[in-house]
């Protein structure tokens, strides 16, 4: 017995000693490198030939250091506190409007309903001339955004140009909080639909309230939760949303990091509102973080069918750490794991290739897990939908009309001629309106190059360099002209897509964000497929079985 005790003691003492030495080595490395950095900075400050901007230099050094880790670990100087607030809470001090830049002018894109810009009478299409007496000419949209933001309650004066006239509006900034749920309504035959844009504070309450209203007023028998394009937000709000549909006390997500004492389990805290209603969660490649917690946990618990495209794959958790002089740092502190035990982080930032680039986790290293009912699911690479839908990409002509703001400009002119239109759900872009839009485009530049054109140009260049005969090069040129001729029909070929773009731009001028979503739902193929699946109970139930 004594020999056993001596052996155990001898076995553990070297481990303890090794641990102490290892910690001492790490502390020495930390101190050494901090001293080196300080010495470099002081030497530059005292001996560099030109004056240096200390704050900019240190910020550059910090940003370069953090870039070696992952894209979510960031440093925020005091001047960026409004951006931090916007990221975490979805709120900021400002006027409540989107803006965009075209040429050397900055325009009001969309004043949000009920917020200062909207209430003051600013309209989409207004050109910003001055802000508090300061000219906006030549400034970028980012620069104008910085000037527009400010302390809630502070005065602001904005001079704009509208229809060739100069107008000045004076009002107060306010605390801008964007809605988590911009729209909730009924689609198809008694199917509820909730669009969730963000996971900021109260997101769980907003979804619960929308769901209660849908149930009480419409007797819905199925639900679509739309998380497409939702980049995430607060983890606890994701748990609260799942809690609406699963029992109290259910583990939804665990976080595990370097400091074991900070590992946490997040369970549902309240009684659910409905544990039986069939649910489809719509996701895409831009559904990330908290969106993936909702979709992944509902999938792991066999509580919903996930439909769409594979999600982004962000399984990392960040905390905000206050630093000196009112600066802050957002740091990745752990990974999160959903109920099956899997982590859906797609990129391994701890290992990089020879070019220094972090790569996606290969299929060979992905591990199989099981849902509550026994279905096979995998870790890494985001949430794979139960029903995969092919991504619908915008046509080149549609992208050109959007990025050159031609659809936007047409909507501005349309509103001047039409003070009123039909309701959001009844208004359509008729062929008459579309032909009017084509006339509007006649003297506008909406040119663009397709990938095919670029490939043909590269082929022609290569053929010339390799001294192919003139007949071959002429044939390549004829092919290029054929592609250009074919492209000229794009306005008719992609007429339906362009009509939807015009519909969105026009409707938002009259009925705001809510109206835009409502108007476009009937044309949304993925929503249509979700409705069809919810109405096919046998197929829905079969998907959720092993």
Could you tell me if 228 and 197 are in contact, meaning their C-beta atoms sit under 8 angstroms apart?
no
Local confidence band at 489 (pLDDT 50, 70, 90 cut-offs): confident
pLDDT computed for residue 325 by the predictor? 85
- Tens of pLDDT, residues 107-131: 999 999 999 999 999 999 999 999 9
Report the Cα–Cα distance between both ends of the chain, in Å, rounded.
52
- Tens of pLDDT, residues 244-297: 999 999 999 999 998 888 899 999 999 999 999 999 999 999 999 999 999 999
Nearest to 194 by CA among 101, 282, 82, 76: 282
Decide yes or no: CATH 3.40.50.620 for domain 183-391: no
- Tens of pLDDT, residues 499-536: 999 999 999 999 999 999 999 999 999 999 999 999 99
Nearest to 224 by CA among 195, 183, 200, 189: 195
Nearest to 126 by CA among 104, 110, 139: 110
Residues 6+ apart with CB under 8 A from 411: 124, 125, 502, 505, 506, 509
pLDDT computed for residue 27 by the predictor? 80
- Tens of pLDDT, residues 396-421: 999 999 999 999 999 999 999 999 99
Could you tell me if 124 and 509 are in contact, meaning their C-beta atoms sit under 8 angstroms apart?
yes
d(CA 7, CA 107): 78
Could you tell me if 377 and 301 are in contact, meaning their C-beta atoms sit under 8 angstroms apart?
no
| Residue 539 confidence (pLDDT) above 50 | yes
Topology of 91-177 in CATH? Answer: Pdz3 Domain (2.30.42)
pLDDT computed for residue 422 by the predictor? 97
Average pLDDT value for residue range 388-399:
91
d(CA 454, CA 461): 11
3-state percent breakdown (helix, strand, coil) of the chain, nearest 5? 45, 20, 35
Position with higher pLDDT, 293 vs 348:
293
- The pTM for the full model equals 0.86
Tokens of 378: 């995998």
- Determine the distance from the C-alpha atom of residue 112 to the mean position of all C-alpha atoms in its chain, rounded to a whole number: 19
Local confidence band at 84 (pLDDT 50, 70, 90 cut-offs): low
pLDDT computed for residue 261 by the predictor? 86
User: Active-site positions?
Assistant: 289, 300, 314
When the pLDDT of each residue in the chain is averaged and rounded to a whole number, the result is 89
- Tens of pLDDT, residues 139-197: 999 999 989 988 889 999 999 999 999 999 999 999 888 889 999 999 998 999 999 99
Distances (CA, A) of 259 to 256, 329, 335: 8, 18, 12
Residue 159 burial (CB < 10 Å; 0-12/13-18/19+)? buried
């Amino acid at each position: 017995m004594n020999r056993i005790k001596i052996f155990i003691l001898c076995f553990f003492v070297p481990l303890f000693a090794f641990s102490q030495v290892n910690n001492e080595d790490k502390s020495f490395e930390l101190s050494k490198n901090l001293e080196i950095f300080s010495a470099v900075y002081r030497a530059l400050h005292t001996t560099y030939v030109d004056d240096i901007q200390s704050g900019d230099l240190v910020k550059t050094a910090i940003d370069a250091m953090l870039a070696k880790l992952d894209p979510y670990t960031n440093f925020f100087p005091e001047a960026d506190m409004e951006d931090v607030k916007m990221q975490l809470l979805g709120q900021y001090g400002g006027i409540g409007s989107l803006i965009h830049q075209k040429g050397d002018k900055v325009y009001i894109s969309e004043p949000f309903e009920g917020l200062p810009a909207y209430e003051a009478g600013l309209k989409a299409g207004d050109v910003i001339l001055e802000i508090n007496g300061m000219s906006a000419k030549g400034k970028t949209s980012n620069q104008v955004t910085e000037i527009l933001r400010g302390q809630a309650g502070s005065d602001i004066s904005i001079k704009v140009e509208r229809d060739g006239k100069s107008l000045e509006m004076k009002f107060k900034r306010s605390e801008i909080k964007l809605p988590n749920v911009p729209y909730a309504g009924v689609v198809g035959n008694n199917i509820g639909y909730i669009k969730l844009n963000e996971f900021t504070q109260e997101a769980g309450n907003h979804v619960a309230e929308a769901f209660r209203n849908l149930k009480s007023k419409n007797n819905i028998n199925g639900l679509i939760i739309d998380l497409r394009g939702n980049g995430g937000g607060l983890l606890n709000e994701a748990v609260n949303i799942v809690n609406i549909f699963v029992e109290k006390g259910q583990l939804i997500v665990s976080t595990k990091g370097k400091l074991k004492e900070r590992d946490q389990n997040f369970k549902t805290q309240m009684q659910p509102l409905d544990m039986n209603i069939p649910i489809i969660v719509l996701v895409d490649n831009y559904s990330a973080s908290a969106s993936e917690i909702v979709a992944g946990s509902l999938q792991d618990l066999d509580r919903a069918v996930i439909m769409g495209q594979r999600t982004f794959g962000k399984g990392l958790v960040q905390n905000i750490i206050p630093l000196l002089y009112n600066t802050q740092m957002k740091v990745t502190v752990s990974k999160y794991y959903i109920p099956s035990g899997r982590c859906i982080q797609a990129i391994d930032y701890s290992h990089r290739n020879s070019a220094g680039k972090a790569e996606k986790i290969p299929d060979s290293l992905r591990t199989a897990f099981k849902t509550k009912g026994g279905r096979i699911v995998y870790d890494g690479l985001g949430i794979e939908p139960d029903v995969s839908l092919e991504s619908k990409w915008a046509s080149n002509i549609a992208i050109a009309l959007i990025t050159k703001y031609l659809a936007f400009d047409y909507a501005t002119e349309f509103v001047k001629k039409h003070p009123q239109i039909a309701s959001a759900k009844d208004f359509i872009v008729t062929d008459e309106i579309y032909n009017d839009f084509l006339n509007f485009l006649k003297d506008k530049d909406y040119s663009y190059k397709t990938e095919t054109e670029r490939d043909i140009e590269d082929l022609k260049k290569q053929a010339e360099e390799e001294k192919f005969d003139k007949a071959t090069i002429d044939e390549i040129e004829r092919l290029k002209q054929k592609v250009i001729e074919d492209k000229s029909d794009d306005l008719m070929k992609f007429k339906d897509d362009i009509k939807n773009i015009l519909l969105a731009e026009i409707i938002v001028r009259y009925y705001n964000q809510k109206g835009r979503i409502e108007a476009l739902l009937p044309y949304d193929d993925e929503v249509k497929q979700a409705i069809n699946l919810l109405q096919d109970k046998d197929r829905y139930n079969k998907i959720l079985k092993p």
